Structure formats: C-alpha cells, structure tokens
Structure 1
Amino acid sequence: MQYFFETERGVKVFKAWALIRSALTVGLVAASAPTTGLRAETTSVLIPRFVSLKSSPANLRIGPGVDYSVEWVYMRPGIPLEIYQQFGNWRRVRDWSGASGWIYAPLLSGRRTAVIAPWSKGNVALRKKAKFDGPVISWLEPAVEVKLRGCDGQWCSVALSSMSGFIKQFDLWGAYPGEVF
C-alpha cells in the first residue's frame, strides 16, 4: 500500500481505507467483549473452586441480582457447587448435574462436600484405607452426597451418616483431579 499520493483522489482513497480499518478494529474489539455486560473481577480466592450451599432454600438466578428471574431453587444445604465467575456479592455456579446460574454469596459455605461419581453406572467403593486393596466398608451409589475431610491428590477422606472412609479422588464431583487440601 502506498502512503504517499500524488493526487487529491489518492488522499481521499487513503482516508476512506483508514476509516474502514478503524471501524473494523472497533467492531472486532466490541465483538470480543462479554455479551452479558459483566466484567470479570480479580480476587485473591481462586476461581474456579468448589464450595457448598450453606442455607436453603436458595435461589439460582439467571443473572447476578434479585431483579433476575429464578431458574432453580435448591432445597437442601450441603449441595456441592463449583464457582466459576463472580460479580460483586454474586457467584456464578454450576452443580453436578450441569445446572448453572447466579447465587448470592452469603448463601455459600467454604465447607467442602462432594457427590459420588454421578457419571458412573456402578457403585463406588468406600474403603477403610486409602489403598486399592483396602477393605471395602460400603458400596455407594452414584450421586450420593458426602462430606469431604481432605484430599491428598489421589484419595479423599469422606464422611456420611455414621461412617467414614476413603474414596478415589476421580470418583468424586467436588474435588479437582490432583487437588490437595
């Protein structure tokens, strides 16, 4: 492309081309902006992360505020949720079934819970020791909720009702693979 023009017409063509390029650039920048009008916030707490529902009932809304309609109502505390976005005092979460929406942050707890392999077609072993050959205490059905006591990156110590034991970490929705806590 020439930057020096000998005629007045050439200058007009150059200005028109520059205007078109500017409009395209502005269009591309605008298209890459979030369509919700929300911007990500920085936080010292990692996102994504798992939490649990502190109180119930709790409304899962389609947007971050009480002016948005309710998509779902959680009726039981302790449900594990994954936070993957935040806006002010609102957290965008998803549950193990894939339902997602916005929930008011004070309704959430840092206490960790998990769900037994909701994707599994068979039962999962609750073991006495964190070993593949550890004695089986019980067989747990998929989607059973457990309290997480801690994970070492491969096994998680869990509790439910009157029993506790260990479950392979990849058999839980509520702890990331390799996560230690």
Structure 2
Amino acid sequence: MRGTAAHNRVRLALAATMFLGATALATGQPPGAGTNVPGGSGLPVPRFVSLKSDRVNMRKGPGTDYPTAWVYRRAGLPLEVIKEFEGWRQVRDADGAAGWVLQSFLSGRRTALVLPWEIKEGKTPPKVALRHDDSERARPVAMIEAGVIANLSNCDGRWCRVNIDRFQGYIEQKKLWGVYEGEVIK
C-alpha cells in the first residue's frame, strides 16, 4: 500500500506540473503567475518600487523575447510590483498599465506621484500644498503640481514627509500614488 500511495503522490505532482506548464504555454504567463506566491526575492508582493533609469522597457512577458509594450522615460517613477518571476517583476503604473520589467532596472527607493488621477489632457494640473508640518493648518512651503515625483522620507499612515527638489515638507498620504493607504514608512 505504501508504494501505491507514494506512486499516486508522484503522479499527482507530475500532473500538476504538466498542468502548470500547459497553462503557462497557453497564457504566455510563467507557472504560478497570478497566485500571489512570493518570488525568489523574499520581498512582499505587492510592493512599491521606483525606476533606476530614465529609459526602461516594460515588456509583455518576463523575458527579452517578449515585445516591448511601453518605454518609461522618467527615473524615480513609482511602480507597484504585483508578481515576480526569476529576475523579472510584473509591475503596474499609476495609470493601471501592467507589464514586465527586469529587476535590475528597479530600486527599493520609495517615491510617489502627487495626485496622478487628477491629470487631465489639455487642462492645467491641479496643485496640492506641501506643508511645513503634518497638519492641514500648517503653512504651505510650496504648491506642488499633480504628476510631480516626491521622494518619500517617512509616512505615518496619514501624512508623508517628502522631498521635492529643494523643498521638504508634508503631503497627505491619500494624495500620493506610491504608498498604500495606512502604510507606515520609517
């Protein structure tokens, strides 16, 4: 009986492997894609990262044989890692576009976009106050346009201390894309 049970487990494992492989071939996705299983990095998925370079290709699949879907030309742009496969990260940008980027083009440095959902083609971008302190009553240090990249210093779940060019101050966390609601960054 033991030999039969062991034999059945091997057959089930082989069938599962063949199913995952067939699914990967049929969908163009790597085995395990969409299962939220952490990749080899050991880092949490999803998570935010930023671009290291001002020219990064986003591909339709995890490899250089896949066509380029988009070219990012903005170092520091925040992206959300939603899956991992070997040295590739499936990412999503603030507009919801998703694709694969080689891990070596990504940085753990935390950045955020100011009000990216408020940008409308042909309209003047709205502005948000960069405040001296973490209070709506604190004096504004500068007015920051939607779409500007902010370097995150820390966030307490409601406010983030940021650096933008030569300015430092606080922006409400809910006005930033690149940090999760309620996320604390130290």
TM-score, structure 1 as length reference: 0.78
The 2-side partners of 1:80 and 1:86 are apart by 17
The 1-side partners of 2:38 and 2:134 are apart by 37
State the 1:123 CA deviation. Answer: 1.6
Which amino acid letter does the alignment assign opposite residue 170 of structure 1?
Answer: K
State the 1:120 CA deviation. Answer: 2.9
The 1-side partners of 2:77 and 2:29 are apart by 29
Change (3 A) 1:74 1:124: same
Runs of 4+ more than 6 Å apart: none
Gaps of 5+ in 2: 1-18, 120-125
Q: May I ask how many residue pairs the two structures share in their alignment?
A: 152
Q: Deviations over 1:26-79 (max 9, x none)?
A: xxx99xx67344214434311110000012321100000000000111122111
Change (3 A) 1:111 1:61: same
Larger radius of gyration: 1
Q: Which residue of 1 aligns with 2:147?
A: 143
Give the match's secondary structure for 2:118.
coil
Equivalent pair of 2:114/2:148 in contact (CA under 8 Å): yes
Asked if residue 57 in structure 1 is aligned to residue 68 in structure 2, the reply is no
Which amino acid letter does the alignment assign opposite residue 170 of structure 2?
Answer: F
Change (3 A) 1:153 1:145: same
Q: Which residue of 2 aligns with 1:45?
A: 43
Gaps of 5+ in 1: 1-28
1:26-37 equivalence runs, <5 A: 35-37=27-29
Which of 166, 169, 175 is 1:165 aligned to?
169
Q: Which residue of 2 aligns with 1:4?
A: none
Q: CA RMSD in A?
A: 2.0
The 2-side partners of 1:168 and 1:126 are apart by 9
Give the match's secondary structure for 2:184.
coil
Asked if residue 71 in structure 1 is aligned to residue 69 in structure 2, the reply is yes
The 1-side partners of 2:129 and 2:179 are apart by 17
Q: Which residue of 2 aligns with 1:99?
A: 97
Change (3 A) 1:37 1:109: closer
TM-score, structure 2 as length reference: 0.76
